[in-house]
Structure 1
């Protein structure tokens, strides 16, 4: 059973996030797990009463949106689960994603956590760094499911584990897929290996005949936003190398000026960290110890001291 984990608050933008998740749940199909975290300093009995009240509000919202933008038959097919927890979302989301075996986290570009409003995108970027499954960041506004997708990454350094995980989402996001790789003018001598990496990535994806584009641009973030605007893409897929690169996608200069890539859903793929090797016996432990690179120490005897 495919599972969508949807962190939600009670803002107006949350309705758009849930409406988008509903459409995904019908298309895939998938179960929807609604996660609401309520930070409160009230005593335990009062906090429990607050959570019960919030759950009733969530159920009313679900029943209203279930039939508002979907056919009645589709709305009835969606299965919901409710998880209301005390505390902050960033403290709970990792355990909840593991508990429900989430295939995808769907959350808004703007979200209130611990009673505070973070800059647009920053909170979603923090959540993407906590969970291992892909995170779909949905900006405010009504929108249909994407029919044209763009995947932008450095395919020459892309971890092999990401492509199968992206292929698992092909049923949720069918449509033409463009693979886009940018390189700077100083990297023109790398065009051949970059093009080979693009072709190898396209061959491993389950989308029918994805197209590849190797483009020169010294500002890849502005370049991908312009490319998405030019092709009228409805979904941008990214695989940032680190958290700092992910935060740059949602920088205030882009959200304030309403850059194109902040006006469409962004699917964030996170590389799975490589776990350290564990020895099963003493012989294996010796072999792993020998395989470690030797520390290079300075040769003070070779230095000519003044």
Structure 2
């Protein structure tokens, strides 16, 4: 069974993520695991008795939190743990066979917003599975136009297979956007890659757009705003150190700065599984 994971800190933004996960779960027949991690490092002298008491209190809070959500009938499990938040979420991803994490991030500049946003980024960088990041304040529109930030260097065939599920699920258009930058020289001929993708996926109906901008983040940001993009996707690399740092630094800046839903795909992690539930006849409209 498909499994989605929703980490929560009981805020309105994480409730928004849970609502979205429930809607999506109904479409594709998935269960939803609601996960709350209390960071022991933030509480000096944290004892086992305190841990037990906190878990009991947190379980009650999780139950109240789930009660606020608009559950569409999805199967629900809860996880209450103490420890490093990112490490424990990573363990839960492996333990439950999670194929998609749905979580919110914040674009503000306060400590809490930076801290939670950094955790979201860290989970995406682990590359264990896909991570759908929802903005705290920005509108979540129906998914009608998906833009994938492509560099045509990193296994786009597997990416297409995953993005085509999204395209079909939402009846959306799909654009591969490549920003040519002097700071990121092309190692493979872009036209060759595009033709190979068209040959391998003749029914995919992918639009290819290429723009020039030495600031890749600015180029992507400007395009998605002008193109009325409803979902931006990109791949988190797990390759040689220099390539990973260069590529993933662009992804990190996008996660911090853009106020629209973003989907971080793993290069080598568990593949996204969003095949539509055969019994579902409705589209997700929010």
Give the structure 2 partner of residue 16 of structure 1: 16
Provide TM-score, normalisation by structure 2.
0.76
C-alpha displacement at 1:206, in angstroms? Answer: 9.3
Whether contact under 8 Å (2:236, 2:251) holds in the other structure is no
Change (3 A) 1:186 1:131: closer
Q: Distance in 2 between matches of 1:180 and 1:51?
A: 45
Q: Distance in 2 between matches of 1:186 and 1:250?
A: 17
C-alpha displacement at 1:151, in angstroms? Answer: 0.4
Q: Does 1:35 align with 2:35?
A: yes
Over alpha carbons, which structure has the higher Rg? 1
Q: Distance in 2 between matches of 1:43 and 1:171?
A: 50
Whether contact under 8 Å (1:5, 1:106) holds in the other structure is yes
Q: Residue deviations 1:183-216, cap 9 Å, x none?
A: 136999x799202312433555698412111222
- Relative contact order, CA 8 A, sep 6+: which one is greater? 2
Q: 1:245 aligns with which of 237, 244, 247?
A: 247
C-alpha displacement at 1:101, in angstroms? Answer: 0.9
Within a 5 Å distance, the mapping from 1:83-102 to structure 2 comes to 83-102=79-98
Q: Does 1:147 align with 2:149?
A: no
Indicate the SS of the match to 1:154.
coil
C-alpha displacement at 1:220, in angstroms? Answer: 2.0
Give the structure 2 partner of residue 51 of structure 1: 55
Give the structure 2 partner of residue 72 of structure 1: none
Q: Distance in 1 between matches of 2:199 and 2:65?
A: 42
Give the structure 2 partner of residue 215 of structure 1: 211
Provide TM-score, normalisation by structure 1.
0.72
Whether contact under 8 Å (1:32, 1:79) holds in the other structure is yes
Give the structure 2 partner of residue 281 of structure 1: none
Higher strand share: 2
The farther-off stretch of 138-147 and 44-53 is: 138-147
Q: Residue deviations 1:278-305, cap 9 Å, x none?
A: xxxxxxxxxxxxxxxxxxxxxxxxxxxx
C-alpha displacement at 1:87, in angstroms? Answer: 1.0
Whether contact under 8 Å (2:175, 2:206) holds in the other structure is yes
C-alpha displacement at 1:234, in angstroms? Answer: 1.0
Q: Distance in 2 between matches of 1:54 and 1:148?
A: 38
